[in-house]
Chain A
Amino acid sequence: MTLAESTPALEEEQPRGSTLGRYLAWKGGGAAISLVMVVVLGFFAFRVLPGDPAINLTRGRRVSAAEVERLREELGLNDPLPWQFVSYLGDLLRGDLGVSYVYNRSVGALILEGLGPTVLLTGSAALVSIVLGLWLGQKAAWTRGSLFDRSQTGLALVFWSVPTFWLGLILLLVFSGGFGWFPSGGMVTAGTDLRGLALVLDVAHHLVLPVLTMVAVVYAQYLMVMRASVLEEMTSDYLTTARAKGLREDLVRTRHAVPNALLPTVTLIFLTIGGLVGGAVTVETVFSWPGLGYLTFQGLSAPDLPLLQGTFVVFSSIVIVMNFVAELVYRVLDPRLRSS
């Protein structure tokens, strides 16, 4: 993910003047193809991982050759690959993601458990960084060249250049180990039985450092795009017209420039969700957050094929759906597209 000031505008691939229904079908079809590719890649990519799961699962224990063989049989590793793929597809269509080799539990259940914390973490981080980035971005654009503009842009770029795990670790050492303001890891305080508001506060307390880490690293891209977008609006003719009509400067900004400038950022917001979810892997590791990212990483060590396939498909689906939503929102919001 690079920090580009120009938003990759969604390009029209379908014939002009299509109806919303056809548009939906076109985009939905694209998303569906991507999903199929994810499923196929998810299956075959992990098969080529080094490591025979049966050997790795039994490593270092007193097992007989017959037992290893039985395990291979049980895991379905002895079936021909195409057959494994067909049965995987069949299970997937029924919503069955298989049983994790390592955890002996349904992958669906494991993913559901991890999904909540991951969505909470990335969702909070996305919300904070979007609000922060957009607000700073429009302010910076409006006061272009000022101390505020230069310091905020500079600071955002510095944070954007920091490796996430390193920043997280330093924040952990300073604010948890040093000052003792925040807990050293996890999502709730272990060994307590909190309910209601107390639980919410406890989770929020645990959420601060990981969210802060993620926000610091990603808010720059929202700031930059918003700043560029507002700058573009500021030079457009209709603002001159608005000013000529005698509109006050702050009204020009809040009524016209900012709302219009928000449009291109919508695309970016949805497109970056994928990066955020991927970035959760390191943050979850540093802050012992019980989410999906860490689960994926653990899955590599067996290798736990059903778990890896499951998390890969779920991760990618989230992003594909987000992108689909981005297209729809863009379509609905953009007056030029809407009128056609």
Chain B
Amino acid sequence: MTAPASPVSVVRARRRARAAGLWREFVATRSGLVGLLVLAVVIVLALLAPLLVPIETLDVTRVTAGINEPPSAAHPLGTDPSGRDVLGMLLWGARVSLLVGFSATAVSMLIGTAVGMAAGHFSGLTQAVIMRVIDFFLVVPSLVLAIVLSAVLSRGLWTIVIAIGVTSWAATARVVRSQTLTIEARPYIERARALGGGHLHVLGRHVLPAVMPLVLANTTLTVGSAVIAESTLSFLGLGDATQFSWGSMLKRALDTGAATAGFWWFVLPPGLAIVLVVLCFTLVGRALEAVLNPTLRGR
């Protein structure tokens, strides 16, 4: 799984055995497994989108269907205000929404893990400063900050990724910090220190592998939040309208008055897709957390 390779094969074997055990436990929480399977299907569909729905068929200058057509055999989810197939857009939208979700989470996770470990590892003034920064980002309303960030950076998908990532890492950092504190209190860390291991060695070799499982669980939950955040930013007009994401589809549906006009095939599917994917991430994340977080064991 996520444990990095260790030079000592015994350790590796032990870790592999532990991972297998965790996987069995994870499978046993059926809701997590169902979530994982649905996600796998969605990801496969997203990856296959260029084959299933060639992008040319979504070229508005080449579409033959009428605009806002209700569902039919040719277009199972009808067409949008430019005559494009909504189902095709939905598949392409999965790519962008998931890409934003994963990338923003990666940003959030990197910052959160690094800052959290530092906050747990260092002491004194350094720790106090880092804690203040974490607290600050926990405290500032993230949507307001994300709005400002996306307005400042102003263009493209990566803007949204950064805006979401930068505003959502604080919770991860807190969790990682407390885990780091727990781990660093263990005797083998003392030993490593006594043997002359520097900050980087201790953090990279001992703390990071130990906090990774927790980060993973946290990450899964964050992806769902990021997908929702993308749609919210799009709704507020701060998304990237040049891409088909589920958020920008919803934005376009609302802007063109599709909701009022009763074009449910353009208003409901992107929203339901978001609900489904976010729910799956939540189920997987919860299951992972239950398996990986020792304090939640047995619940």
Contacts and interface: CB of A to CB of B under 8 A. Distances in A.
A313 to B, nearest CB: 11
Interface stretch (A83-91, A103-111, A273-281): A273-281
B152 A3 contact: no
Contacts of A316: 139-141
B148 A46 contact: yes
Contacts of B171: 1-2, 4, 8
B260 A166 contact: no
B135 A163 contact: no
Interface stretch (B72-80, B86-94, B273-281): B273-281
Interface residues of A, number: 59
A138 B239 CA distance: 39
Contacts of A166: 231, 235, 250, 271, 274
A41 B254 CA distance: 33
Nearest to A276: B141
B29 interface: no
Interface stretch (B1-9, B51-59, B222-230): B222-230
A311 B148 CA distance: 12
B218 A4 contact: yes
A34 B135 contact: yes
A32 B175 CA distance: 24
Contact of A6 (B147, B148, B296): B296
A331 to B, nearest CB: 17
B264 to A, nearest CB: 10
Nearest to A38: B140
Given A161-B274, A163-B235, A297-B236, A6 B152 contact: no
Nearest to B140: A316
Interface of A: 1-6, 8-9, 11, 13, 30, 33-34, 37-38, 41, 45-46, 48-50, 157-158, 160-166, 169-170, 173, 177, 228, 231-232, 235, 271, 274-275, 277-279, 281-282, 285, 296-297, 300, 303, 308, 311-312, 315-316, 319-320, 323
12 contacts: A2-B224, A6-B289, A30-B132, A49-B151, A50-B154, A163-B275, A166-B250, A169-B267, A228-B296, A275-B141, A285-B236, A315-B141
